[in-house]
A and B are shown apart, each in its own frame.
Chain A
Amino acid sequence: MCLGVPVKVIQREGNEGIGEFKGVKRNINFALLDEVKVGEYVILHAGFAIQRLDQDDAEKTLELFEELAKANDEE
């Protein structure tokens, strides 16, 4: 039930907006998350943006993962 999907904000007017992920568009309510701009990614849960999805941090996660996997090879 706590399902959250990543969407890219493509439109925003006040607390209402539209997000898109892999071609699927969804309405977003921004009441729980201020200052999200068009072009940013958010986690969408039950129609609400609940948190920003940080792209740099996502990259970092993948890098950390590679590091862990690599460390394994070198052991």
Chain B
Amino acid sequence: MKNNFFDEFSDSKKTRDLTQKIKQTAKDFKEEIFLMEVCGTHTVAIFKSGIKSILPDNIRLLSGPGCPVCVTPNPYLDRAIALSRSDDIIITTFGDMMRVPGSSSSLEKEKTKGKDIRMVYSTSDALRIARDNPDKNVVFLGVGFETTSPTVAFALKEAKSRKINNFSVLSAHKLIPPALRLLAQSPDLKVNGFICPGHVSTIIGTKPYKFLADQYHIPCVISGFEPVDLFQSLFLLLTQIKNGTAKVENQYFRAVKDEGNPNALRLIDEIFQTTDSLWRGIGIIPQSGLVIKEEYQEFDAEKKIPVLVEKNREPKGCLCGLVIQGKKSPMDCPYYAKQCTPQSPIGPCMVSSEGSCQAFFKYGQMNARVQGQGARDQGQGSRVKGPGSRVKKTRNREVNKNNG
């Protein structure tokens, strides 16, 4: 493999040519076209690439519920916090969850009060902590989509086979396809095409999106995360829309196989079963969550360790729930960039580095295009230098072409 191989995927010279073609295609659309990604890593990658600012005005990118931290509801966090207050419990968690506010506290606040809460990089680390602390209950916070749940399933299987009986998981795992179905059915949301999540798809493959094309006639493209990937995927989606076709295309075929990862899928099936699940701001989505099967219930923290959980209180006025569904822009929220900033977040969309609000806060100035269907007219005047000048250049080229 060439040394500069991976760099080629982020080569701006390459993407410039396709920008022109995207613009040409966009001219054919009489109305606004809404394309939605449902992956926090895409949210950030799209912002970082500056794509939003160089897209034609009638092509709009929305962020869907692709940030697991953002869709994890308060009662889950409140339970984790309640567990952390017990002296014989060590909470282990991915770092993303630390600062997410529950009803009255957060894991980070509890940690500063001396509670034993440890950030881990992998479920293997959590298992190790359990092995090293046999007199404590070690609870891992199982949050994440299909990419993450097999790694948690593996830890549960290991715990059982190695009899690490002081290990358990508090599962809030969620599934992407049921959320996509809900969005496709939503009467007040227009999505012309889905940019499907790359790493979720490495596990689930290409087939679980087929219903979107077949039943709802919504084009889908599974995309990688580099600028080359994103531009190519956008172009493929727009081409489908232009041609009136709806199919599932796999732009990220270097990592996504049609069948996904059969080992990982088997493991998920072995340990978890699907259940109706509560998504923050959205409500209950049928069969969209994973709970630990009965055979493994001695490793299910929810069943194993009863605890009194405080009454749920949501932050009043926080629009996170609507932002997650692409129905509102972060800028529509009265708290955005005022009381709610990455330093002192009110809602989870501002806490998570993958949340729409934080991505918007960090990179929005560069892009200055508003997500969310409720706020089309805001923020469009503030395009900035770099990408803007490129836009101008491309426009001139277009004019020349038309004249010629």
Contacts and interface: CB of A to CB of B under 8 A. Distances in A.
Given A2-B147, A55-B5, 12 more contacts: A1-B40, A1-B68, A31-B263, A47-B121, A50-B147, A50-B199, A54-B254, A61-B254, A65-B231, A69-B18, A69-B21, A72-B20
Q: How large is the interface on B (under 10, 10 to 19, 20 to 34, 35 or more residues)?
A: 35 or more
- Identify the interface centre among A2, A4, A45, A69: most chain B CB within 10 Å of its CB: A2
A58 B5 contact: yes
Nearest to B18: A69
B223 to A, nearest CB: 11
A32 B151 contact: yes
Q: Which of A6, A54, A65 has the most CB of B within 10 A?
A: A65
Contact of A57 (B253, B261, B263): B253
Nearest to A42: B255
Interface of B: 1, 5-6, 8-9, 14, 17-18, 20-21, 24, 39-41, 66-69, 94, 96, 121-125, 143-145, 147-148, 150-151, 154, 197-200, 202-203, 224, 228-229, 231-232, 235, 251, 253-257, 261, 263-264, 267, 352, 354
A32 B255 contact: no
Contact of B9 (A41, A62, A64, A70): A62
Q: Which 8 A-B pairs have the closest CB atoms?
A: A47-B122, A69-B17, A57-B254, A51-B202, A72-B21, A2-B147, A2-B199, A58-B254
A48 B151 contact: yes
Interface of A: 1-4, 6, 27, 29, 31-34, 41, 43, 45-48, 50-55, 57-58, 60-62, 64-66, 68-73, 75
A55 to B, nearest CB: 5
A73 B397 CA distance: 11
8 contacts: A1-B143, A1-B352, A2-B147, A4-B147, A48-B154, A50-B264, A65-B228, A65-B232
B203 A50 contact: yes
A64 B232 contact: yes
A3 B261 CA distance: 17
A65 B229 CA distance: 9
Contact of A72 (B18, B124, B199, B203): B18
A45 B257 CA distance: 17
Nearest to A45: B147
Contacts of A61: 9, 224, 228-229, 232, 251, 253-254
A1 B144 contact: yes
Contacts of A65: 14, 18, 228, 231-232
A60 B143 CA distance: 35
B144 A2 contact: yes
A39 B167 CA distance: 35
Contacts of A43: 199, 202, 255
Which of A34, A48, A57, A71 counts the most B-chain CB atoms under 10 A from its CB? Answer: A48
Nearest to A70: B17
A46 B253 contact: no
A16 to B, nearest CB: 9
Given A2-B148, A31-B154, A61-B253, A51 B69 contact: no
B122 A46 contact: yes
A62 B228 contact: yes
Contacts of B256: 51
Contacts of B41: 1-4
Given A29-B124, A45-B151, A48-B122, A2 B228 contact: no
Contact of A75 (B1, B8, B24, B66): B24
B301 to A, nearest CB: 19
A47 B124 contact: yes
A32 B199 CA distance: 14
A6 B96 CA distance: 21
